[in-house]
Amino acid sequence: MRARHVTRHAAAAVAAALALTALTVPASGAAGSAAPAALARCGENDVTVRADPSDDNADILKLSVRNDSSKACLVDRVPTVTYGELDGAALPLPTVPHAGRTLAAHHTAYAAVLSVSNPEDAKDEAPAVMYVTVAAVPDHQGRSFQALTLGSPTGVRVWEPVTTLWQSSSSQARQVLMEETTGRGTLAV
């Protein structure tokens, strides 16, 4: 990640920390309804987080979180995606306050993350990391995925990474990512 964007990454870390308290605030649910204020945050053992390589772009990862419990719970509306030992996390597009998102029992939400958001600036400066960690709630430890399993045996390149919010389908997450990174759309929230 770029050194001159340390402030931006610090802001992302502060926003993630604030998400811990925001998760008890009503927010858009998986079906577009308001989440009850009393709905509990998903426990780390209640969810399965996945990251998979994109079929057509080495800089895009497909993410998912599935609620394995028998009751609805809250995840953050933005996945927390960190790269190896680098500071900071992928920033959400658009920049929105963290808040809770209802994930119904046995349902899955999807996101897409672009690890190199500006390839022209990155050229030879983009570092490569050997693992990526994804969490559904900022204070969860998350799950780490090795670069090799993500289709990048020499490491996942990273330069100003951005992520979508959780979406209702993988194709919708991909569409939102493409529209937002090309400036052609408004991100679905």
The answer to whether residue 155 is domain-embedded is yes
Q: Is 92 among the domain residues?
A: yes
Residue 187 falls inside a structural domain: no
State what percent of residues in the chain have pLDDT above 70. 74
Looking at every residue in the chain, the average pLDDT score rounds to: 80
Instruction: Please compute, for residue 23, the number of CA atoms within 13 A of its CA located in the half-sphere on the CB side.
Output: 25
- Count of the separate structural domains present in the chain: 1
Task: Tell me which residue range forms the domain holding 172.
Answer: 3-182
Task: List strand residue ranges (DSSP E) for 115-179, in order.
Answer: 128-129, 131-135, 143-146, 156-157, 162-163
Q: Does 14 reside within a domain?
A: yes
Residue 188 domain-assigned (yes or no): no
Q: Residue 34: inside a domain, yes or no? A: yes
CA 127 to CA 156: how far, in whole Å?
8
Residue 37: pLDDT band with limits 50, 70, 90 = low
Is the pLDDT higher at 23 or at 79? Answer: 79
| 145-185 per-position pLDDT tens digit | 999 999 999 999 999 999 999 999 999 999 999 888 876 54
Confidence (pTM): 0.77
